[in-house]
Amino acid sequence: MSYDLSLIPRPGNEFSRSDFLEFFESRPNYVVQEDNATYMNDATGIYFTFDFTDGETEDLEAPEHLTGPHLAFNLNYYRPHIFGLEAAIELSACIEHFNFTIDDPQNEGMGVGEFSEEGFLRGWNSGNFFAIKAIQNNAEYNAPPLKTIPDADLEKYWRWSYEREEMYDDIGIDVFVPRIFYFLLEGQLRTATVWTDAIPVALPRTELVVFYREQLQKKILGFGKSNSISFVKFGQLEPFLKPYPLENRILDFHLLYYEEPPKDLADFFRDQPETLPNIYKALQTDEVFGREMVAKALRS
């Protein structure tokens, strides 16, 4: 099940494969191969596709507007609602650049005509809700319960990761801006950032911080150093964060800037017990859903 949208040149506007290639090869987060442009944002974990089609078809009943060169957009259903939010940004940029109209055949879609982000999100959310409802409520699918966090939190964490590059420019000093991850730790869903060697960082408040140690690693007698990680509750860091300003951009974050990590922080970082791989699992973005939306689907 997926959301499918056709992007169509207006009468008199030329659109070719070379136009398709030039546009998508110039945009970040796309892998372009022949007639396919796959969007994959490593910062957010969101993905979807655009495909170029020349419109040639043997279907005599095909609408005239689909018999010439155009684009086909595809976004799978049974995904967290943030997939639609990021897709809307890319769709808007593409449609504005080429001055496309659209053909949206979804039940709650926009039909044939003009695109709007509001109309797209209405159709996407409706179809995605139906997919979640159908799969979760049908025993034949044997689908496991979905992992969830509050809808608003899911959106804030997505937006933080999506705007990381802008934050680098806005902060204006050389600090690391981590993306936000989801982990199962001893079977419990947790939010976390990954922080390497206590480097300068814009550290948002999440449930956990994953210490990744390369330089700040204890030396093992006879074996030198080896990289390791520790899962640390955010509250354990509070005493070390107090000297650093608390700021806000989507989320509250502490701005830790220094030439070298303070000794007490470095020692704390180094001394945390290693978390063994068998008690945690990293989750992908498409595995964590909005809690209220899922609850509503299950009640339907």
User: What does the alpha-carbon distance between residue 286 and residue 147 come to, in Å, rounded to a whole number?
Assistant: 10
244: three-class secondary structure by DSSP: coil
pLDDT, average across residues 137-147: 90
Rounded to whole angstroms, the Cα distance separating 34 from 45 reads 23
Determine whether 18 is exposed, middle or buried from the number of CB atoms within 10 Å of its CB (0-12, 13-18, 19+).
exposed
Query: If you average pLDDT over residues 254-283, what whole number do you get?
Result: 94
Positive or negative CA dihedral for 173, 174, 175, 180? positive
Average pLDDT, the chain: 92
> What structural domains does the chain harbor?
2-139 (3.30.1400), 151-283 (no CATH)
Task: Using alpha carbons, select from 206, 213, 200, 204 the residue that is nearest to residue 269.
Answer: 213
Q: How far apart (Å, rounded) are the C-alpha atoms in residues 76 and 84?
A: 10
Alpha helices by DSSP H, listed for the chain, are 17-25, 82-98, 117-137, 151-162, 164-171, 238-241, 263-271, 291-299
**3-state SS assignment for residue 74:** strand
Entry pTM: 0.92
Mean pLDDT along residues 172-185 = 94
pLDDT (0 to 100) of residue 221? 47
Is residue 51 within 8 A of residue 36, CB to CB? The reply is yes
Nearest to 198 by CA among 276, 268, 277: 268
Using the predicted structure, report yes or no on whether residue 20 has a pLDDT greater than 50.
Answer: yes
Contact call for residues 294 and 146 (beta carbons, < 8 A): yes
Residue 128: CB atoms within 10 A of its CB come to 26
pLDDT tens-place string over residues 226-268: 678 999 999 999 999 999 999 998 999 999 999 999 999 999 9
Looking at the DSSP bridge assignments, the partners of residue 5 are 73
Residues 188-206: pLDDT tens digits?
999 999 999 999 999 999 9
Q: What is the pLDDT of residues 57-109, one digit of tens each?
A: 555 455 666 668 999 999 999 999 999 999 999 999 999 999 999 999 988 88
208-213 and 228-233 beta bridge pairing:
antiparallel
- In this prediction, residues 6-19 reach a mean pLDDT of 93
Tell me the pLDDT band of 222, cut-offs 50, 70 and 90.
very low
The DSSP result for 124-163, as a single string, is HHHHHHHHHHHHHH-GGG-PPPPEEE-HHHHHHHHHHHHT
